[in-house]
Amino acid sequence: MDITSEMAYPTPLRNSPLLPLLLMTLATQRNAPRQSSSIKREYDYIVVGGGSAGSVVASRLSEEPCVNVLLLEAGGKKPPLINDIPALGRFFWLTDIDWQFKTVPQKHSAYFHTNQQVIWPSGKGLGGSSLLNAMLYVRGNKKDYDDWEAQGAEGWSYKDVFPYFLKLEDNTNPYYLKNGYHATGGPITVENPKYNPEIRGPIYESAQELGYKVLDSNAAQQTGFYDHQGSIRNGQRCSTAKAYLVPAENRTNLDIIGGAYVKKILFDGSRAVGVQFDYGNSEYNVRVRQEVIMSAGTTNTAQILMLSGIGPKKHLQKLKIPVVADLPVGNNFQDHCGFPVLFTFNSRPIKEKLQDSQNIHEYVNNRTGPLSSPEFVSAMAFLNTKGVYPREDFPNYELYFLEISKEIAKYQVGLHPLVYDFVYGPYENDPVFICVSHLLHPKSKGTVRLQSTNPYDPPLIDPNYYEDPADVEAIVKGMKTCLKIGKSKSMRKVGVKPFATIFPSFTNLLPDFILDRYLTLLAKSVVVTLSHQVGTAKMGDPRDPTTVVDPELKVKGIQGLRVVDASVMPIVPSGNTNIPTIMVAEKASDIIKDSMPCRTRYSS
C-alpha cells in the first residue's frame, strides 16, 4: 500500500490522519488485477482497451480454454484504492486516470466557457470510465433497443438484450428482485446507496406533490423519480476491472497489459493481422490469429480506427493515411448534455462532510454515510415534456439532484474565470446542490476526427451541441421542473434557495415566454457533458452507408476486426450509458464465442 501515491490525488481526504485506516479497509476488495510480465508474439484475440467494455470481453473470451487473449490498456498505473470510495469519483477528473480531453470550441453553445470548450472526462486505466463515473445503475428505455433494431441492428431489440442486463447483474435489493426485472449472481454488484442526505426526502415529497411516482426506472416503467441504485459492492465502487478482470487474473490464457499505448491495427490486405503499440520503451507488433477487438471507447476507438486507415476517405487522404476501408468512422457522434441549476441549502459543504472523522468512522465500520454516496447524487428522474405521465413511457429529459463542491464548478466545467467569480464566487464556501437538466434524445450529432497522424495527439472532439435548436427545448423544460421543485414548500423546510446571481427575485415575475428565452440563453451558455458519448462506429444494416459495423459488430469490408464498446450504439440510450455498454460487451462476447473455430469443434 503506497500512502504517498494515494495522497497525491486531490481528494478532500488526502491529508486526513484517518487515511491509512481507510486504505486498509478498502484493500479488502481488490480493484485491479495482476498484470502479465511477458507478451507473446501471437494471440487468438487481442482486445484493445480495458475499460467498461474491454474488461468484459477479455474476461468472457478467456473463459474458453481453447483460445488465448491479450488485453491492452493505455492506462498503466493501478487505480488508487481511494478511488473505491463512491463519494470521491469526481475528484479523479483531470488526474492520471483521466484522458483529460477537451472538445473543440463549440459553435452553438458553451458561450461562458473558456474558448467555448467543454471539459471531456474519459477513464484511463483498467476499468476505464467505470473508474470516473457516478456508478448509477441505469439501463435506458425499452424503446431505445427496439429502435436500434428498427434502424437495422437486427438481434438488438429489448427482448434480445434484456437477458444480458440480467447476466451482468448481482442485485442486493430483495424488493427490486421481486419485480422480475433483476437478477443475482452476475459480476456487477448493484446496491442502493446507504446515505440519506437532508434533501432526499424533500425532493421526493415535492415530486409526489407534482404527481410523479417514485419507482424502479429499470423495471416496468421508466418515467418518474428513480429510487436509484449503483454499481457498488459493499459500499465500494464496483468497476469492470474489479468485477470481471480480478476473478480472471489467474487464467493462463489471458495476458493483461497496462501501459500499452496502441497506435494502429496492422493489416494484410483487408484482414486485420495484429496491432502495433508502445509498451515501456519499446514498440511491439503482435500478431492475431482470429480477431482484433476494438474496445477503446467512443473517442479512442474512432481515433485508432482512423489512424489504421479505416474512416472517411477524404479525411484520411488529407492526412496521407493509406485507406484500408472508406467508412463513416467518427460520424453519428451523440452525447447527453445539460445545464446545472444551482441552489444553496441548510447543510454543510461536502468537503466538511467528507473530512468529518465521525463520517469517516461510519464508513469504515458500516460502509454507510456521506462517503458511501455515489458522488452525492441524492435523487434522479426520467421525465417527459408532454406531461407528468404521457401516453408513451419514453422520457425525453433526465434530472439529477446532487451536492457539489466548488472544485467541480471551478475546474470541471471549463467556465471562464470571470463567469465563475460572478455566478459561483458569492457561494463558494456554502453548501450547494445542483439540479442538472439534461437531454435524453439529442437531434444534434457531432464528429470525432484526427488532429494529426501522431497517435499521441488528442483527437478533435466536436459534440456539436445544440446545432438543432429543438435540443434546447427539453433542457429548458427540465430547468423549469428543477425550479418548481427547488421552490416547493418541502424544499423550503431545508432552506433551499436558487442562486440569486442566476435567478434574482425579479425572474419570478417574468411571463413564461420571457423566462423560456432567458433559460434558453443560460442553457446555451453553460454546457456540462454527462459523459454518455456513443455512436462513432455505428452498428446496423451493412447495406446502410451510415453504418461502420454489422449486427455482429464486425467492421464492414474487413476480416478479423470487430468493435465492442459504446461507439457501436446507433442511438444513445435514454439514460446513463455505462450499464448498456457492459450489456453490449456481454452480448458481443457470446456472439464471438459462437464463432470460435476451436469451440465449435469441441461442441460438435
Indicate which residues carry an active-site annotation.
Answer: 532
Residue 542 burial (CB count, 10 A): 16
Neighbours of 473 (CB within 10 A): 17
Rounded distance between C-alpha atoms, residue 394 and residue 384, angstroms: 7
What is the Cα–Cα distance from 341 to 124, expressed in whole angstroms?
30
Measured CA to CA, the distance from residue 507 to residue 525 in angstroms comes to: 18
φ, ψ at 228 (rounded to 5°): -75, 155
CA–CA dist 411, 181 (Å, integer): 39
- Residue 453: name the closest of 563, 567, 561, 316 by CA: 316
**Backbone phi, then psi, for 385, in 5-degree steps?**
-65, -15
> CB-side exposure of 465: number of CA atoms within 13 Å?
31
- Provide the grid cell at 121: 472526462
Nearest in space to 542 (alpha carbons), one of 528, 530, 527, 558 = 558
Integer CA distances (angstroms), 577 to 137, 144, 183, 534, 602, in order: 9, 12, 19, 8, 36
3-state SS string for 447-514: EEECCCCCCCCCCEEECCCCCCCHHHHHHHHHHHHHHHHHCCHHHHCCCCEECCCCCCHHHHHCCHHH
CA distance 495 to 488: 11
The count of C-alpha atoms lying within 13 angstroms of the C-alpha of 236, restricted to the half-sphere facing its C-beta, is 21
Give the list of residues 6+ apart from residue 457 with CB closer than 8 angstroms, or none: 450, 451
